[in-house]
Structure 1
């Protein structure tokens, strides 16, 4: 493709993503499947241009309005080319050349905008805080309350593409063996800073074709997600329930720490998500996982298995604000209604899943969110209603070795963020059951559960 054709494709794809309600990665994958003639280098440039525009959307829109351009995909790409790629005014007409496969020529207004944008920075004095940090206004105040003077660093970290992390599958190989196998296949990696089973690729590149991946030696998993699985502390022989298992990333990580011994019940309301776990289980050599689809969080199955599990993980559905580096489109779709619906659902799920934990057992509530009402507020609400049955554990006493000290946790919960730890944003809190439910509460739970 010519440079102009690449730009035209990026405008078309960005416009499609902005109009769709589906996640950007799904839209992009579908768009590319319909254009198999596009070469790998061209695909890489187009996709990165779209993701860069999505990451910086708010600042790009602010600049577009400032120089008189309408808020549309073409304008965002023009601003991105000038302020992210640092193109010159002389280059821009060659990228908007009006050719058969290129975008139409720059209008007079666009040419003037290009001149005004020359030499400018994306973030400048005078921009509203949310714009300067490139965060949705709905999240900026909430994050300021939690991060304070660290918010600036968080905003910048969340505008940086996330690294590719792998988890060495301890059932088949240790981390050093996986790194050596990757190196033999031309993939450079280094140990992740915190997870004892993690590797971070030196640069973003596809690894699904490698023997290390196809033979089940490693799985793609953010380091923060690996640390959440470690906090569960599932041991060989344990009975474990993964209450919102999805496609099984943390399920497989726990199976490895259990050395394939004991049992994990992978639970989810989506049979399709659970089905996608099949190939991953086969590849990883895991055989201690059973899968079950639930109708809802209070499925009768939960009542029938109350007080049966040593460990329960609730990887709750959430806003995903901790993963905005990977899914930048999601931050622009966040609404107050979504937050309210999710926090109410999170409370219901945690309430129901807690019934599964036996006395002396542990439940870990986790999200990939940075918003306090999805995290600390849910923990406090749970303790307020279940303080006679559960006590809060200190993650610093659970995590292995000197990991807690390295993470510099400032409280009992596992709280990770891209600026401080280089991981996606995660939150996890552990509770231990110290008493069975009171008889009246147990009866009420059975009635409510059907």
Structure 2
């Protein structure tokens, strides 16, 4: 964004977003989206500036606040943003709100240097997340956090129901969008530069979806084949359902379930755009919904609710939402979902459990506890994807086979 001079309203809008995220515990991406809808006159560079500023401020919230002398406690968001600029050796704009601050640059720089004495401040995580992380991953927590404190790359997944990866590359090139294939991931492409690709004709035609490279491995891990009957038991907005549909070549049946009806409505819309005709949505009204599908599926994917610690690169606000209370609640929910939803797997069928967490208690330990209580399932294999090793989101996936009724 060389030669781009942000004007006052961009900072005013950014502060509104930060207040919603920091004070009301709202989600960063949703608040940015709302702000853009309120300010339709903003151009692409305006939006790009605001999005980058917000994500950096959320990602480094604790560090910036420390360097600023606790500007957030003073409810001074202009000072908070100015501190971010000083840390990044950027020029502070010639606006009255900034000029009235009288910030001591040297003091800010000194505070910034001193932050390395406390890794929780330096890596901008809460004290509770620090304690939880060191409890779960004493040897590698800080290593993983350092990697996830970098912005996540923008990855596309080719929709092979519509086009091959090489065909998609050509389509996007015609629309002046440069992408590069990721060699170890058959459908994945990485954007050379972050831009709003949702405006492209290729996206409108269902040629691709946005999906991290690690997340793309889950559908492949399920070992689906055309003609199978598959349940995506915690489907959400359906990213993995759509990938499964492509791998099954639109043959067979995918029942995409969730307890949130609004997510399933979004999935229905996406499935239509993706030409995924074998996806059917099913709202989980009660436990009876699951019982009706007793031993009905060749594959049951449980993409379980989790802390989301593995996707901090794209959801940095999660760093301040994860605490012991939330963690314990998630563990109980995962255990209950595994116990109940496993009943839908038919004999010799596969149960796939996945999370976007890197905490053992949510992953391997949940699987081990399930297998101890359910002798009619056997462990097949599991896979742990560490951000520090892959450069992508942290994911866990495990595969179990039903032996008998």
Equivalent in 264, 288, 291 of residue 278 of structure 2: 288
The residue that corresponds to 1:17 in the other structure is 21
The residue that corresponds to 1:364 in the other structure is 352
2-side partners of 1:74 and 1:295: how far apart?
46
Change over 3 Å in CA distance of 1:371–1:123 after alignment to 2: farther
- Count of residue correspondences: 401
Cα deviation, residue 2, structure 1: 5.2
Equivalent in 79, 94, 105 of residue 99 of structure 2: 105
The residue that corresponds to 1:249 in the other structure is 239
1-side partners of 2:140 and 2:326: how far apart?
26
Change over 3 Å in CA distance of 1:9–1:305 after alignment to 2: closer
Alignment of 1:126-275 (within 5 A): 126=117, 128-144=118-134, 147-275=137-265
1-side partners of 2:85 and 2:372: how far apart?
52
Equivalent in 47, 62, 65 of residue 66 of structure 2: 62
Cα distance per residue 1:420-440 (max 9 Å; x no partner): 11221111111111121xxxx
Deviates more, 1:142-151 or 1:184-193: 142-151
2-side partners of 1:415 and 1:135: how far apart?
23
Is the Cα contact below 8 Å between 1:266 and 1:289 reproduced in 2? yes
The residue that corresponds to 1:407 in the other structure is none
What is the DSSP-based 3-state SS (H/G/I as helix, E as strand, rest coil) of the residue aligned with 2:401?
Answer: strand
The residue that corresponds to 2:89 in the other structure is 86
Cα deviation, residue 68, structure 1: 11
1-side partners of 2:146 and 2:5: how far apart?
32
Alignment of 1:331-342 (within 5 A): 331-342=319-330
Cα distance per residue 1:98-123 (max 9 Å; x no partner): 1xxxx25333xx422x2322487567
Equivalent in 376, 392, 406 of residue 379 of structure 2: 392
Change over 3 Å in CA distance of 1:272–1:311 after alignment to 2: same
Cα deviation, residue 309, structure 1: 0.8
The residue that corresponds to 1:447 in the other structure is none
Cα distance per residue 1:89-141 (max 9 Å; x no partner): xx43xx2531xxxx25333xx422x2322487567532x22222223332334
Is the Cα contact below 8 Å between 2:82 and 2:98 reproduced in 1? no
TM-score for the superposition, normalised by structure 2: 0.92
Cα distance per residue 1:300-355 (max 9 Å; x no partner): 12222211111000011112111211121121122222111111111111111100
Change over 3 Å in CA distance of 1:336–1:32 after alignment to 2: same
Work out whether 1:430 is the aligned partner of 2:399.
Answer: yes
Change over 3 Å in CA distance of 1:62–1:261 after alignment to 2: same
Is the Cα contact below 8 Å between 1:362 and 1:432 reproduced in 2? yes
What is the DSSP-based 3-state SS (H/G/I as helix, E as strand, rest coil) of the residue aligned with 1:427?
Answer: strand
Cα deviation, residue 187, structure 1: 1.1
2-side partners of 1:69 and 1:308: how far apart?
55
Cα deviation, residue 150, structure 1: 4.0
The residue that corresponds to 1:445 in the other structure is none
Change over 3 Å in CA distance of 1:72–1:311 after alignment to 2: farther
Work out whether 1:38 is the aligned partner of 2:37.
Answer: no
Change over 3 Å in CA distance of 1:304–1:67 after alignment to 2: closer
Rg: which structure is higher?
1
The residue that corresponds to 1:115 in the other structure is 106
Query: For structure 2, which runs of at least 5 residues remain unmatched after alignment?
Result: none
Cα distance per residue 1:181-200 (max 9 Å; x no partner): 11222111112243211111
